[in-house]
Chain A
Amino acid sequence: MIEKLDEIKSNAIDELSSLQSIKELEDWRVRYLGKKSALTQILRGLASRPLEERKAVGASANELKSLLERSHRQKKEALKEKAYQEMEAAAVGKQIISPTGIPSEEKFGIPTVFLGIPDVTLPGRPIPLGRLHPTTQMVREICDIFVALGFQVVEGPEVEWDYYNFEALNIPPDHPARDMWATLWIDTKSGERPMLLRTHTSPMQIRVMERTTPPVRVVVPGKVYRYEATDATHESMFYQIEGLAVDKNITLADLKGTLYEFARRLFGAERKVRFRCDYFPFVEPGVEMAIDCMVCGGTGCRLCSGTGWIEILGAGMVHPAVLRRVNYDPEIYTGFAFGLGLERMSMLRYGVEDIRLFYSNDLRFLRQF
């Protein structure tokens, strides 16, 4: 029995050294290690042998089995390595013969290799590309900034009652400040409540406060509408983001800090910010915020009309009349509010000079974002 094992061993090792391919190696494995191989037969037959023989032959047979397995593994590695080297040698100095190279037949059982070299400068297979509209991107970016500052994002109706758009915001009928918002009115029957397309996102200040008890910290993105002849800087439909924070101890300094942080995150930490007095009927004091001009750096140019500053939003402390309107006690609560035009932010960021590009949906424009 031991002789038999020796014979298997010497035959197997001899044959192994002359093998040239993975295929031949696989045949070899079946021959010497397969289920029907002599070695396997011997190992299977051991159980019926006396203990002495079982011990002696068993040890030798298992030793031979692991030797052959090890040799098989090594030979397999060597053959693969040889194939890789051939592939690499074939590639060196080869001309580009076809765009993708010519696949060779399967060699040594390793994955298909290319005989030629593909022209890697050729374009890849096109995959249709989709993008979000620049306004959507800007809405998300700005909302994300305010969310990081503890604000929640809420939304509201675009068709509004006069009450929310004006009256509750301290702008009664026939108030001269109504001229600040040229309004598109809904055709209603006479005697019905006046309905309009909201001219700003500010009505949501009222709606949010009506249904919430302080503290309030929200931003409201959305479409707004104006009765306006369109030109490079005016659209009849555009987006605004409204902000509102109401609590005990909210101050103008908090307004400044919040908006300062916003401007730096959106336009860069090096931006300077300016706050000046302005008027909106639903805030007191009223604020306008500007950033230093990114084109001229403050020396004055066409973009900033020579002032060195670019107005980016209106803001202020919520007017006591507005707080009282929603049954917030202005002796207890204070708040700040702000509103900014979305497209203006995009225009400044990307240098877009005509607002009408945003909603005419020319793919040559949209693809740039």
Chain B
Amino acid sequence: MKAPLNWLREYVDIALSPKELAKRLTMSGTEVKGIETIGGWENIVVGQVVAIEPHPHAARLKLATIDLRGECLRSVCGASNLEMGQKVAFARIGAPLIDPQSGEPVRLERAKIRGIASEGMICSERELGISDRHEGIMVLPPDAPLGVPLNDYLGDAIFDLDITPNRPDCLSIIGIAREVAALTGKSVCLPETRYDEPGELIERKVSVEIADPDLCPRYCASLITDVKVAPSPPWMEQRLLACGMRPINNIVDVTNYVMLEYGQPLHAFDYERLAPKRIIVRRAGDESITTLDGVERMLQSDMLVIADGEGPVAIAGVMGGSGSEVTEETTSVLIESANFNSVSIRRTAARLKLRSEASLRFEKGISPELTMLALKRATQLMAELSGGKIARGIIDVYSGKKEAKPIALSTKQVERILGIKIGLEKMMKVLCSLGFDCQTVSTEELSIAIPYWRTDVRLAEDLVEEIARIIGYDELPITLPSGALPQYEADPMRAIRERASDILAGCGIQEVITYSLISLEVSRKVVLNSGLTPLKIANPITTEQEYLRTTLRPGLLEALSANEKHEEGSIRLFEVGKVYLPREGNLPEERQMLAGVLSGPRLDRSWHGEGEVLDFFDVKGVLETLFERLGVEASFEPVNDELFNPGRVARIMLWGEELGIIGELHPRMAEGFDISRPVYLFEINLEKLLPTTIAPRKYRPIPRFPATLRDIALVMDGEVAAKRVQDIIQSFPLVAKVALFDVYTGEQVPQGKKSLAFRILYQSPSRTLTDEEVNKEQERILERLHRELGAALRA
């Protein structure tokens, strides 16, 4: 909403500077986003044309003598609308102007035009930067003060205001004037609307019927005959332009002007083009209407229309129809000022994708009381500007005024919310300044009647806000909540997520956060043959972000691919985030996952040499570190998965359940993301790790008795998994720890065989082991390894 300062001044005295006023408005809830200054017209004054002579050397030019109050200057002028007695904006030599051709700022220079010296220039609106009009000179109203600088006469500051949806009353100059008045201790003075009604009785000319009073609580109409449609006077056009509306003619402009002034949308019908004598406000049938913007629109049965005897002539509260539009031929105008149901208007405007200045006001819920006030103002102005004759009376169909009940407000309630005692006097003063009617009930309580324009105020809390915002939030004290702290509830999922992230970052992996929304195409690249249909967005912004991810893989692979373009060394990324798994008839399961992708050299190239390329065991080592730190013993099992390079993939098992997967991505998959080098990927279901945070860790005493170390090398078939050997050794009671330290295949062992070397730590918690005991245990181990796995001690 734009509000010119000069327009506001018509209703309230303003002594503050625009900047100070903007600050107070902003602080109290009416945010001023910017102030546009109109003016900067140095050396331009209001003058009057006192003589016009022909130019001796040019038929199309004239010599005008301009009176600047006591001083007369001559100007060469080519404008066709130049007339004797006109008040004009006269630029002296040196005045800054806008070049009408280029739009660039220029200074007016002394010049001879076809041999005659011009001592200044009569300006067009375009030259003054007021509008784009350059067809003729700008003609000022007859009462423009002679000799006064144009800055003082037309200069203005236009506030650009952000009106919150609860304050439709502030979508009007008068509404903002009321705010200004309350903030500055002034009062508001509304325009007087008194006029003669010389015409015929309106009821003889037209009837109004409301078929659906729920959707249209009130409909007022007046009629003006014998109008002459013409451009509006400059003052009105300038105000409309300043508020961002395009002037059209003196009929339409008045409806817009009064809407801006009062916040009540109005509509003007060409009375002659209405199928005579009838206005019906009803729901649309199976019909269509061509609106003022020239678009034919199909209507639906829950949309409210204004119809005449034949069919719809306007979509109520949204836009008029072109069939009854006011044109230059119009002679009689029916002015509509009505109140419509806010929800109905909002739905209709949304359905038709047609949001107008009118619908934006109606949908926020404005008062039915406004209709009559605005209608009278518009009738008066329109008759004045168009020379029309006002029909006698006003049609007012009103289903009944709903009186808002007064609200009780005590000093205690105010203190309870604001944390500061505010006296009854002060409360009254603030509320009265906003137009509330306060009655004292007791020394501590008021009964407050709500003015009709404040449709947003319904509760005592609303009144508390009114008091606080006018006094100023900065005036309230600063304290901290004093009550007891709520009972603490741990969030194990957050704890495990943070621990896992810290560990992985410590392992040299960068955390990323990728979009939850992905394209179906990219989702299909990484989720094969899954019966799962991801959740779809009904109104996606782009197809790139149309489905909710069911895996973290695509986001990570895309991030890796994008970074590969400029990264020289290794790229190691992980993400901790949710995937969204649809559930019938319910919100999806939002499962917390952890995934990572790694690619490139193990060590970045440096003078210490270049590391080898990362392999499966680098990534596995990271996960083992993670599990070790989390205190869980997960195991890795070979698995088949088409997404991965065959054989270079393992599923991760924990407590008999699948925890996740790790492997080298199949080159086909990598290429799908435009990645050329080997990529290792892991994905873990974090929720499966939750029990680790719940089970408390138990301390185990440090062993008190010395340990015995033995190294053994075993030869066995190549297919035997090292894990099986290790598990068997570990299962013996005297074995405290076993570590694989060498794997060998080659000439030293038979074809198809391999050698695994283990270091075994023997230890007892209760005594020092003798060599003999250790030897016996090791023999038992070897015997079992031989029996179960065919493993033999390497010669």
Contact = CB atoms under 8 A, between A and B. Distances in A.
Interface stretch (B96-104, B429-437, B564-572): B564-572
B462 A284 contact: yes
Interface stretch (A17-25, A34-42, A50-58, A125-133): A125-133
B514 A361 contact: yes
Contact of A334 (B416, B468, B494, B545): B416
A237 B537 CA distance: 14
Interface in A145-191: 149-150, 152-155, 157-161, 174-177, 179-180, 184-188
Scoring B486, B508, B541 by chain A CB atoms within 10 A of each residue's CB, the highest score goes to: B486
B469 interface: yes
A159 B483 contact: no
A131 B486 contact: no
B418 A251 contact: yes
Interface string B356-371: 0000000111000000
A228 B28 CA distance: 29
Contacts of B29: 276-279, 286
B482 interface: yes
A232 interface: no
A195 B484 CA distance: 37
Contacts of B459: 284, 320
B480 A153 contact: no
Contacts of B587: 157, 159-161, 195
B578 A158 contact: yes
Interface string A225-262: 10111000000110000000101111111101110110
Given A176-B346, A317-B461, A277 B473 contact: yes
B699 interface: no
B562 A362 contact: yes
A49 interface: no
Contacts of B517: 184, 225, 236-237
B710 interface: no
B515 to A, nearest CB: 6
A215 interface: yes
A367 B541 contact: no
Contacts of B31: 276, 278
Contacts of A256: 473, 476-479
A362 B275 CA distance: 66
A225 B489 CA distance: 28
Interface stretch (B39-47, B497-505, B674-682): B497-505
A245 B606 CA distance: 54
Interface in B480-533: 480-486, 488-489, 491, 493-494, 498, 501-502, 504-517
A254 B479 contact: yes
Interface string A179-212: 1100011111000100101000000000000001
Contact of A361 (B342, B513, B608): B513
B786 interface: no
B489 to A, nearest CB: 6
B521 to A, nearest CB: 17
B376 interface: no
Contact of A157 (B480, B590, B607): B590
B501 A126 contact: no
A150 B603 contact: no
A125 B608 CA distance: 7
Contact of B481 (A150, A187, A278): A150
Contact of B476 (A179, A225, A237, A253): A253
Contacts of A252: 417-419, 468, 473, 476
A130 B507 contact: yes
Contacts of B548: 159
A99 interface: yes
B510 to A, nearest CB: 5
Interface string A281-316: 100111100000000000000000101000000000
Given A160-B587, A251-B416, A130 B541 contact: no
B478 A260 contact: yes
Contact of A227 (B363, B416, B541, B574): B541
A126 B604 contact: yes
A228 B540 CA distance: 10
Contacts of A149: 480
A14 to B, nearest CB: 41
A286 B465 contact: yes
B542 to A, nearest CB: 9
Contacts of B416: 249, 251, 334
B464 interface: yes
Contact of A358 (B166, B511, B513): B513
A236 B342 CA distance: 29
Contact of B469 (A248, A277, A281): A277
A104 interface: no
A132 B571 CA distance: 15
A140 interface: yes
A192 B419 CA distance: 44
A68 to B, nearest CB: 31
A287 B474 CA distance: 11
A215 B510 contact: no
B538 interface: yes
Given A152-B489, A176-B342, A276 B27 contact: yes
Contacts of A344: none
B399 interface: no
Given A125-B608, A237-B517, A334 B501 contact: no
Contact of B567 (A180, A274, A363): A363
B541 A236 contact: yes
A225 B545 CA distance: 11
B309 interface: no
B758 interface: no
A98 to B, nearest CB: 12
B761 interface: no
Nearest to A280: B164
Scoring A176, A185, A278, A367 by chain B CB atoms within 10 A of each residue's CB, the highest score goes to: A176
A150 B539 CA distance: 40
A128 B598 CA distance: 12
A360 interface: yes
A363 B513 contact: no
A94 interface: no
Contacts of B464: 284-285
Contact of A250 (B346, B481, B494, B585): B481
A320 B462 CA distance: 10
A320 B167 CA distance: 19
B604 A132 contact: no
Contacts of A179: 165
A133 B513 contact: yes
B343 interface: yes
Contacts of A46: none
B504 A130 contact: yes
Contacts of A359: 513-515
A108 B508 CA distance: 41
A133 B512 contact: yes
Nearest to B576: A136
B691 to A, nearest CB: 19
12 contacts: A128-B508, A128-B572, A133-B512, A154-B491, A214-B486, A223-B516, A252-B419, A253-B479, A279-B165, A317-B417, A320-B461, A367-B510
Instruction: Report, nearest first, the 3 A-B pairs whose CB atoms are least far apart.
Output: A128-B508, A251-B419, A253-B419
Interface of B: 26-29, 31, 33-34, 164-167, 342-343, 346-347, 363-365, 416-420, 459, 461-462, 464-465, 468-469, 473-474, 476-486, 488-489, 491, 493-494, 498, 501-502, 504-517, 535-541, 545, 548, 559, 562-563, 566-567, 570-574, 578, 580, 585, 587-588, 590, 603-604, 606-608
Given A155-B493, A245-B481, A248-B483, 19 more contacts: A129-B508, A131-B505, A133-B511, A158-B580, A184-B539, A215-B484, A236-B545, A253-B419, A256-B477, A261-B480, A275-B474, A275-B476, A277-B27, A278-B31, A279-B29, A285-B461, A285-B468, A320-B459, A366-B511
